[in-house]
Chain A
């Protein structure tokens, strides 16, 4: 056994693990390469071979820099986990943008990075042009990215990783999935994958059969089924065609995707509990309760409001155009059954406002959905009730308040506080996004809609997102999607780490010069 006397620096640890994640992603590029081969799409195949080569080289370089981490089996800490999650997403954003750039469907590197970040964060806003003529390989890649982004890049690396678990837990939490299903983290990630794979099989089959029924040819029906499943389950919102889900003109197709994306927006811990036999959890859990209540109220209000303005003629239309979009927004999926501009032109401010609210509330924690998360909304709401009760109650009685999330948990001030703080962070992110939109001349309701879509990783657009959008807005949206998905902690850690490093450098150079 070899021992090194000097400890492995944080920098090296971070570099090594980031490199590892990059290498795993490079390996994933074999899937689009095989797709391109099968469909004889030569340009696409070369695009991905080049990208895979570049990613491999970058991954080896990063892992090489941090090589001592592996040699010394260095201990990975919480702070590393957060920084690795944040850094790897950033590095991967650039590497995964390469095939887009090479395809010719994208106007600039910035646009490509936007689409990649949109995929990773399961947002679903699109800057890629001419989707209808995209290669099958690139479509495979786009939808894969959202499916895997939903599962978390790091969880992916963890599943393949053959190391001890203590380090693994810290990487995992950095990815904003803090539910502990089983004590063994590797076991947890395997379970997350298992659940997703089973749904992948069931969901794709259902959509494939429906696709055949509605008139698609067998091979294309399969591809559409696969892509739409990946997009729905991950609550992404990408689709292989320009018209998004409107391409299919089918109530059945829409309904199946709706069921998939509602389930996809649920907490993985919830799926695990239900699949273990605790089926009552579906209705007892604070998140599902919160979601059912808020989405129900939102649908009813919007249907009622729009019916007064006679926007849609009958019940089926109201269900397909209003309910579908409200729930798509609430689960932060982003499949749209109306054209973007129709939200602005036909829904009116009341409809837009409700959409903004549900997009911000979002789905469940520890899921593929975005937004504040129903858990926090439920906790803050119950916290408010708790405070009111405390006021009214006599001072001598001491009551413990709780909420039910997988198991009964204590509703104390610290839980309420941390939930409120994160909600405030989201509101700030949303507020700045809205301000920037209005600064560039977009109307307030539209700016708010787009900013909510970005902050909550939704993907519905009111028409602002386009290649012609100002670069500043594209950059801000990328940052907002990124922060929203990683739930701030990772990004703050990364910023803090980089700032700390710069500070050290400055201090060193000052010492040197004096």
Chain B
């Protein structure tokens, strides 16, 4: 059960991390394109 929880948390961590990274790049792109 614990293992299952870890896997799900791990999956979410990866997805979230990548999404945050994409968001970061998008923000910086916006800054460069505006400036």
Direct contact between A and B in the complex (CB less than 8 angstroms)? Answer: yes
Chain A residues with CB below 8 A from B15, complex form: 259, 263
Cβ contacts A265-284/B at 8 Å (1 or 0 each): 01000010011110100110
Identify B13's interface contact among A274, A314, A319, CB under 8 A: A274
Chain B residues with CB below 8 A from A319, complex form: 25-26, 29
- Flag if A318 contacts B6 (CB, 8 Å): no
Asked if A247 is at the interface of the complex by the 8 Å CB criterion, the answer is no
Contact stretch, chosen from A133-141, A216-224, A295-303, A336-344: A295-303
9 CB < 8 A contacts A-B: A258-B22, A262-B21, A263-B15, A275-B7, A277-B9, A282-B13, A296-B24, A303-B33, A315-B26
Identify B33's interface contact among A202, A262, A283, A314, CB under 8 A: A314
In the bound assembly, the distance between CA atoms of A288 and B14 in angstroms comes to 12
Asked if B1 is at the interface of the complex by the 8 Å CB criterion, the answer is no
Chain A residues with CB below 8 A from B30, complex form: 315
Chain A residues with CB below 8 A from B32, complex form: 300, 303-304, 307, 318
A interface residues with partner B (beta carbon < 8 Å): 198, 202, 255, 258-259, 262-263, 266, 271, 274-277, 279, 282-283, 292, 296, 299-300, 303-304, 307, 314-315, 318-319, 322-323
Counting from the closest, the 10 A-B pairs by CB-CB distance are: A275-B10, A277-B6, A274-B10, A315-B30, A279-B13, A315-B33, A275-B7, A259-B18, A303-B32, A262-B18
In the bound assembly, the distance between CA atoms of A274 and B16 in angstroms comes to 13
Q: Is the interface of B mostly helix, strand, loop or mixed?
A: helix
Q: Is the interface of A mostly helix, strand, loop or mixed?
A: helix
In the bound assembly, the distance between CA atoms of A18 and B20 in angstroms comes to 44
Chain B residues with CB below 8 A from A262, complex form: 18, 21-22
Chain A residues with CB below 8 A from B34, complex form: 315
In the bound assembly, the distance between CA atoms of A271 and B19 in angstroms comes to 16
Chain B residues with CB below 8 A from A202, complex form: 11
Given known A-B contacts A259-B18, A275-B11, A282-B17, A296 and B33 have beta carbons under 8 A apart: no
Given A263-B15, A277-B10, A282-B14, 13 more A-B residue pairs with CB atoms under 8 Å apart are A259-B18, A259-B19, A263-B14, A271-B10, A274-B14, A276-B10, A299-B29, A300-B32, A303-B29, A303-B32, A315-B34, A319-B26, A319-B29
Chain B residues with CB below 8 A from A258, complex form: 22
In the bound assembly, the distance between CA atoms of A202 and B33 in angstroms comes to 34
Residue of B nearest to A274 (CB): B10
Chain B residues with CB below 8 A from A304, complex form: 32
In the bound assembly, the distance between CA atoms of A277 and B17 in angstroms comes to 15
Identify A299's interface contact among B6, B17, B25, CB under 8 A: B25
Residue of B nearest to A199 (CB): B11
Identify A276's interface contact among B6, B14, B18, CB under 8 A: B6
Chain B residues with CB below 8 A from A299, complex form: 25, 28-29
Chain A residues with CB below 8 A from B19, complex form: 259
Chain B residues with CB below 8 A from A322, complex form: 29
In the bound assembly, the distance between CA atoms of A266 and B13 in angstroms comes to 14
In the bound assembly, the distance between CA atoms of A275 and B6 in angstroms comes to 6
